Structure 1
Amino acid sequence: MTPPGRARWAIGSLLAGSILVNFFDRTVFSVASVPLAEEFGLNLSELGVVLAAFSWSYCLVQLPCGLLVDRLGVKWLNRIAIPLWAAASLLTAVASGLGLVIMARVLLGLAEGPSMVGASKATAAWFPTVERGRATALFDGATKFANVLAFPVLAWVISAWGWRAGFLFTTVLSLLFAVAWWWGYRDPAGHLRPPDAEHACGRGGTTGEWRGVLGSRRIWAISLGFACYGYTINVVLTWMPVYFQREFGVALGSAGLYAMVPWLVATVAELVCGGWLVDRMVRGGRDAVAGRRPVLLGGLALGATIGCVRWAASPLDAVFWMSLSLGGLAVAAPVAWSLPGLLAPPGAVGAVGGLMNFANSAATTGGVLLTGWLAEITRSFDAPFVFAVVVLAVGGLLYWPALRTDRAPDAVTTETEKAFS
C-alpha cells in the first residue's frame, strides 16, 4: 500500500488536476466570448447575461453541495459530476441557438458545484495543519495555472478552427480526466490514515452542525469576506480577454498571450506565499488561524491595485497592474480556502465551504453582470475595476476582526478545537 505521505500528495495532485480541468471548462467561454457574441449579435450587457448563466446555477447549488460533500464524500460526487462537465461543453459546441448555449452554461454550473467545496473538504481530511497551506495552494493554485495554459491554448484553437472547436477541446479534456479520477481518487478510508487526527473530518453534516455554522458570526464574516475576493478575481477572469480586445484592439491570439502573464504570476505567488510561507509560519509556532491574517489582508490590499488598470496606456501597462493585483489575490486565496478546515466542526467542513462558495458565487454572478453593464454605459472598463477596489476594502474590513488573535472563539471554533485536541 502507498505510504501515507506519498498517498496524500498524490491525492493533492489529483485534486489540483480536477480544478485545472474544471477551470479550462469555465475559461473557454471567456476566450470564445467575442466571436460567439458576433455570431449571435450580442452587446456587452447581453454578453454579461450569458456569461453569468454559469454563475447563477453554480451559486444556487453551493449550499446543497456542501451538505452532499459531507454526506456522500468527494469521490462519488465527482465521479458523477466530471462526465457532466464534458456533456456541457459538448452541448455548447453543437448549439444552434443562444438558448441552448445558456442551457449548457447552466448545466456546467450545476455539475461543477461540488468542485472547490470538495477539494477543500478532501484537503482537510487528508492533510495535517502544518501541510494545509501548501495542499490548499496546490488545488487553488490550479485555478490560476489553468488560465496560464487555457488562455493561449484556447485562443490558438479558437483562432484556428472557430469558437466551437474550443468547446470540443474541453469536452475531450473532461472525458480523459473522468477516467483518471475514477481510477485514481480514493477517500481517506481507502488508504493508510494520514498521520494525525485531521482524518476525523470525515463524513457527517448533521442538522445541528448546519445550525451551528449558520449561527456563527465568524463563519458569516469569512464567507462574506471571501465573496469580496471572489467578486474581484472573477471579474478579471471573465472579462480579461474582452478587455484587451476592446480597450487596445488586440487580436484574439494576442489577447490570450497578454492574459496568460498575470495568471502565471498569480500561480507562483500562491504556491510560494499562500502555501509554503504560511506552512512555515505555522510550523514555526504561529497560530494556525491568526497567523494567516496578515497574509490574507496583505493579499487583498495588493489585489486592490486592479484599480490602477484605468491608467494603463498600453497592453503591457495593463499586464503589469493585473499581474500585481492577481498576485495579491492569489496569495489570499489558499488562506481563505483553508479556513473551513480550521474553523468548522468535524463533519461540517463541506457546510462551511459551501456557505463560503455560495457567497462567493453570488458575488461573482452580480459582478459579471455589473461589469458588463458598467462597461457598456461608460464605454470603458475603468468603472468596473475601480468598483472592485471598493469591494476588496469591504472584504478586508470583514476579515480583520474574524481572524484577530484576541478574538473570543464562537461555538463553531470551540467545537473544532475540542475535536482536534
Structure 2
Amino acid sequence: MTDTDVVPAASARPRRTMSGPRQRAWTVTALLVVFMMVNFADKSVLGLAAEPIRADLGLSASAFGLANSAFFLLFSVCGAAVGLLADRIRPKWLLLAMALLWSVSQAPLAIGGGLALLVASRVLLGAAEGPAFPVAQQTAMSWFPDRSRNLPGALVVLGTTLGVLIAAPGLTWVMNEYGWRRAFAVVAAAGLVWALLWIPLGGEGRSRSAPDASSAHAGARTADGTGATRRRTPYRRILATRTWIGATTAYFGAYWITAFGLVWLPSYLHEGLGYSTAASARVLMLVYGLNAVVVLGQAGLTGWLLRRGTPSRWARGRVGGTLLLLSAAACLTLPSAPAGAATVVLLVVGFGAAGAMTSIAVTTVAQLTPADRRGGALGIMNAVVTTAGLIAPTLIGHLVDTHGTGGYRYAVLLTGALLVLGGVAAATLIDPDRDAPALSA
C-alpha cells in the first residue's frame, strides 16, 4: 500500500477530503493541456503561413528552413537548464514566465519586420518554449501516482495535437481573411489569456516536495531505516541507464517527424503531392486526428497492462516500439506508393502513429527517476530530443532546394530510417523495472 492509497481515518469524511485534491489535480491538468495547445499553435503558425511568408519576404526554401531551425537554436539548451531549475523552483512560476515570453516574442511580427525579425522572434520563442513540455509533464505528474499517470500524461501530449487541429483551420482562416501577420497576433493573445488563468488556478501536487511512494524509489531517497538521509542520485547515473537511452532515442524519432510535420508537411502536401490548400488542410486534420486517437488509445492500453501486472518493458517499451515501427513502415513505403487513397493512408499512418511515443518516453523516465531528479531528467531528455527540430527543418529545406519536389521523397525516407532506429531502441532497451532499483542503491 502506498501513501496515496491510505484511506482517511474518519470514514464519514473520505469523499470530502479527497474531492478537493482530485478536482484540483484535473483542473491543473486541463490548464496544462491548454498550455500545450497554445505551445503547438505557436509552433505551427510558421508552417501554416509558409507560402505567404516566403512570397512576402522573398525567401528560398533553405532560408525559410533556417528561420524555422532558428526556433531550436536555444530550445534544447533552455529545455535542459529550466528542467534542472524545476527541481528547485516552483514549476508554477516557470510555466507562467514561459507563457508571457511566448506572447512577447510573437507580438512584433504582428506589426511588421522582415527576415531578421522573424529569426529573432523564433529564437526567443524557442528559448521560452524549450522547457514547456518537460515542466508541464512534471507538474501534471506531481498530482498522480505512477499507476495513474498514463492518462494525464497522454492528455498533456494530446494538447500538442489539439493545438494543431484547432490552429490549422483557425489560423488559416485568419491568414486568408486578414493576412499572415494577424495570425501571429492571435497566438500572442492566446498565451496572455492562458497566463491570466494560470495565476489563480495553477500549481503543483505534493509529489514534487514529498517522496513518490508509488515508485521503486520510495524510502530510498529519504531514509535508509536508520534515520540517515541518502544523497541524491547523480544525473549521470540516470542518463547512463539503458531505459533512459532507449526512451530518448525513440523520442528523438518521434520528435523528428513532429518537426517535419509542423514545418514542411503543409508544403509537402501542396508542392510535393499536388493537393490543393483545402485538400491539404483535410489531410492534416486526418493526421492529427489519428495522432489523438493513438495517444489516448496507448494511454488506455498501457494503463490496462500495468494494472494487470505487465512489466513496463512490455506495457511501455514494446507498445511504443511497435507504434514507431508501424509509422516507419508507412514512411518507407510512401514514396513508392501510387497516387490516391493509398498515399493518403500511408501519409496519415506515417505521420500520425508515432506521436504516442512522446507520452511513453515521459512516463517511462518518470517511473525510472526519483521525484527530486524528475525535472532535470525530463529536461535533459527533451534537450537531446529537440535537436531533431534544429536539424530537420534546415536539412529538409536544403533537400527541396537541391532536388526540387523530389527532396521531399528523400526527407520521408530518412524519417522512416530514424523511426526504425527509435522503434528498435524502445523495444529492446526500455525496462524501468530493471533500472530503477539500481538508481536507489
Partner of 2:268: 243
Asked if 2 retains the 8 angstrom alpha-carbon contact of 1:221 and 1:399, the reply is: yes
CA distance in 2, matches of 1:109, 1:390: 27
Match of 1:395, as an amino acid? G
Alignment size in residue pairs: 410
Identity across matched positions, percent: 24
Deviation at 1:254, TM superposition (A): 4.2
* 2:129 is the counterpart of 1:112: yes
Matches within 5 A, 1:128-167: 128-167=145-184
Cα 1:153–1:61 change in 2 (3 A) is: same
Matches within 5 A, 1:227-238: 227-238=252-263
Deviations 1:133-159 (A, max 9, x none): 111110001111221111111111111
Deviation at 1:357, TM superposition (A): 0.9
Partner of 1:33: 50
CA distance in 2, matches of 1:191, 1:124: 9
Asked if 2 retains the 8 angstrom alpha-carbon contact of 1:133 and 1:278, the reply is: yes
Partner SS, residue 390 of structure 1: helix
Asked if 1 retains the 8 angstrom alpha-carbon contact of 2:266 and 2:284, the reply is: yes
Could you tell me which runs of 5 or more consecutive residues in structure 1 were left unpaired when the two chains were aligned: none
Cα 1:194–1:247 change in 2 (3 A) is: same
CA distance in 2, matches of 1:103, 1:20: 23
Asked if 2 retains the 8 angstrom alpha-carbon contact of 1:158 and 1:166, the reply is: yes
Deviations 1:222-250 (A, max 9, x none): 22332122112321222111112212444
Bigger mean CA deviation after superposition, 56-65 or 250-259: 250-259
Partner of 2:381: 356
Match of 2:429, as an amino acid? A
Q: Which 4+ runs in 1 deviate beyond 6 A?
A: 190-195, 198-202
* 2:411 is the counterpart of 1:384: yes
Bigger mean CA deviation after superposition, 18-27 or 53-62: 53-62
Partner of 1:294: 318
Partner of 1:183: 200
Could you tell me which runs of 5 or more consecutive residues in structure 2 were left unpaired when the two chains were aligned: 1-16, 222-230
Cα 1:313–1:180 change in 2 (3 A) is: farther
CA distance in 1, matches of 2:274, 2:333: 20
Deviation at 1:289, TM superposition (A): 4.4
Match of 2:138, as an amino acid? K
Match of 1:385, as an amino acid? V
Match of 1:37, as an amino acid? R
Partner of 1:225: 250
Partner of 2:118: 101
CA distance in 2, matches of 1:25, 1:127: 28
Asked if 2 retains the 8 angstrom alpha-carbon contact of 1:62 and 1:358, the reply is: yes
CA distance in 2, matches of 1:176, 1:69: 23
Partner of 1:282: 306
Partner SS, residue 70 of structure 1: coil
Partner SS, residue 153 of structure 1: helix
* 2:94 is the counterpart of 1:69: no
Asked if 2 retains the 8 angstrom alpha-carbon contact of 1:4 and 1:192, the reply is: no
Deviation at 1:331, TM superposition (A): 3.0
Deviation at 1:322, TM superposition (A): 2.4
CA distance in 2, matches of 1:270, 1:44: 32
CA distance in 2, matches of 1:258, 1:62: 31
Partner of 1:332: 357
Deviations 1:198-235 (A, max 9, x none): 69899xxx985323334434423322332122112321
Deviations 1:158-201 (A, max 9, x none): 11111101101111111111111112111124999999656989
Deviation at 1:413, TM superposition (A): 4.8
Asked if 2 retains the 8 angstrom alpha-carbon contact of 1:48 and 1:369, the reply is: yes
**372, 380, 391: which one aligns with 1:347:** 372
Bigger mean CA deviation after superposition, 296-305 or 221-230: 221-230
Matches within 5 A, 1:6-85: 6-85=23-102
Partner of 1:169: 186
Cα 1:207–1:32 change in 2 (3 A) is: farther
Partner of 1:369: 394
Partner of 2:424: 397
* 2:274 is the counterpart of 1:257: no
Deviations 1:253-277 (A, max 9, x none): 54333312210111012112x2111
CA distance in 1, matches of 2:313, 2:21: 25
CA distance in 2, matches of 1:245, 1:92: 25
Cα 1:91–1:319 change in 2 (3 A) is: farther
Please give the TM-score of this superposition, normalised by the length of structure 1: 0.89
Larger helix share, 1 or 2: 1
CA distance in 2, matches of 1:95, 1:252: 25
Please give the TM-score of this superposition, normalised by the length of structure 2: 0.86
* 2:112 is the counterpart of 1:88: no
Cα 1:389–1:248 change in 2 (3 A) is: closer
CA distance in 2, matches of 1:261, 1:229: 18
Asked if 2 retains the 8 angstrom alpha-carbon contact of 1:296 and 1:331, the reply is: yes
